[in-house]
């Protein structure tokens, strides 16, 4: 049976999500772009995809911090493009602070975007995947879904939660042709790290470039950032037939960070 591989990648205007969308499009999957950026910015990316990959994706601009907004987003996608058979829950934000100073509203926002949004897209996408007998849910967790770091209470809680949520989704759907997995990246060179790099540079009185080296050395034995495209290639493999028995996992791509 041939299945339409139609992939929604949340947060695909930047960083890891954009790289996953590029790898998917280059390899013949249909992609749906999503993010916070303006329609104009999203359409510019879609136009570039058309030129580079011969596939012009739809772009949806939606803040996914509210369940109702995600419901409207999924309705529009179903009406305008079709039911996604691959959902990559990638959109995420970061904020660092000790627990006692962590702003409660920021905690709520991180849990909403980094964890609850994956529940909402999954619950809304699963019925069509079950009907088709094929589906892939790929949740972009983090090394911080497996281990902790100081000052990242909400991020670690959300990313650990995502690993647990993914395991349940995998168990419930393992006999239905649907897999659910987490990818757990270590330091990856994207705009998400800019604030942490600035803070590291200030605290250690170093340049932005030296801060990059410092962050890597602090955690991972492999001396380079993970490239966003490498995460795209792993996500692509999870969409393949060869990966149909890989489900319920949390796969680190972290330069050995979690081997400690
Ligand atoms: P990024 O800042 O480059 O991109 C984030 C994307 O999420 C953007 O497309 C943005 O529009 C979207 N987004 C943010 N808030 C949103 C909201 N409220 N509603 C809708 N979209 C929203 O970040 P990145 O580094 O590419 O991170 C992508 C994912 O990878 C995140 O879940 C992050 O936690 C995870 N991750 C990143 C790293 C890293 O080192 N960069 C490491 C491990 C995990």
- Please give the model's pTM, rounded to 2 decimal places: 0.97
Of 170, 130, 134, 173, the residue nearest 4 (C-alpha): 134
Nearest CA to ligand 1 atom 38: 188
203-241 pLDDT, tens digit per residue, is: 999 999 899 999 899 999 999 999 999 999 999 999 999
Nearest CA to ligand 1 atom 23: 192
For 31, 41, 122, 182, the CA distances from 169, given in Å and listed in that order, are 22, 33, 8, 11
Tell me what percent of the chain is helix, strand and coil, each rounded to the nearest 5. Answer: 55, 15, 30
DSSP state of 115: I
Q: In sequence order, which residues have a C-beta less than 8 Å from that of residue 174 and are 6 or more positions away?
A: 247, 248
Q: How far is the CA of 122 from the centre of ligand 1 (A)?
A: 18
64-73 pLDDT, tens digit per residue, is: 999 999 999 9
- Catalytic residue status for 155: yes
- For residues 145 and 139, the answer to whether their CB atoms sit within 8 Å is no
- For residues 106 and 28, the answer to whether their CB atoms sit within 8 Å is no
SS3 129: helix
Domain 6-186+227-252 superfamily per CATH: NAD(P)-binding Rossmann-like Domain (3.40.50.720)
Atom index in ligand 1 nearest the CA of residue 143 equals: 43
Q: How far is the CA of 81 from the centre of ligand 1 (A)?
A: 24
User: Along the 260 residues of the chain, how does pLDDT read in single tens digits?
Assistant: 689 999 999 999 999 999 999 999 999 999 999 999 999 999 999 999 999 999 999 999 999 999 999 999 999 999 999 999 999 999 999 999 999 999 999 999 999 999 999 999 999 999 999 999 999 999 999 999 999 999 999 999 999 999 999 999 999 999 999 999 999 999 999 999 888 899 999 999 999 989 999 989 999 999 999 999 999 999 999 999 999 999 999 999 999 999 99
The reply to whether ligand 1 has any atom less than 6 angstroms from the CB of 145 is no
Q: In sequence order, which residues have a C-beta less than 8 Å from that of residue 260 and are 6 or more positions away?
A: none
Provide the token pair at 9: 């990648």
The reply to whether ligand 1 has any atom less than 6 angstroms from the CB of 188 is yes
User: Which residue ranges make up each domain of the chain?
Assistant: 6-186+227-252, 190-225
Nearest CA to ligand 1 atom 44: 142
């Amino acid at each position: 049976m041939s299945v339409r591989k139609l992939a929604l990648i949340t947060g695909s205007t930047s960083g890891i999500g954009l790289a996953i969308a590029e790898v998917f499009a280059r390899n013949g999957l249909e992609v749906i772009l999503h993010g916070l950026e303006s329609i104009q910015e999203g359409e510019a990316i879609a136009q570039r995809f058309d030129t580079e990959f011969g596939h012009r994706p739809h772009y949806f601009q939606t803040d996914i911090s509210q369940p109702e907004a995600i419901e409207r987003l999924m309705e529009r996608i179903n009406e305008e493009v079709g039911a996604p058979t691959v959902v990559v829950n990638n959109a995420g934000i970061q904020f660092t602070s000790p627990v006692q100073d962590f702003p409660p509203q920021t905690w709520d926002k991180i849990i909403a975007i980094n964890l609850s949004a994956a529940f909402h897209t999954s619950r809304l996408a699963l019925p069509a995947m079950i009907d088709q007998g094929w589906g892939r849910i790929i949740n972009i967790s983090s090394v911080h879904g497996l281990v902790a770091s100081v000052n990242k209470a909400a991020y670690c809680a959300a990313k650990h939660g995502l690993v647990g949520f993914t395991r349940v989704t995998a168990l419930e759907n393992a006999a239905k042709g649907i897999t659910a997995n987490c990818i757990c990246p270590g330091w990856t060179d994207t705009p998400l790290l800019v604030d942490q790099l600035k803070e590291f540079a200030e605290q250690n009185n170093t340049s932005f470039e030296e801060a990059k080296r410092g962050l890597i050395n602090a955690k991972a034995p492999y001396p380079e950032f993970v490239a966003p495209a490498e995460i795209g290639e792993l996500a692509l493999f999870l969409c393949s037939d060869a990966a149909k028995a890989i489900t319920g996992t949390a796969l680190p791509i972290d330069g050995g960070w979690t081997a400690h």
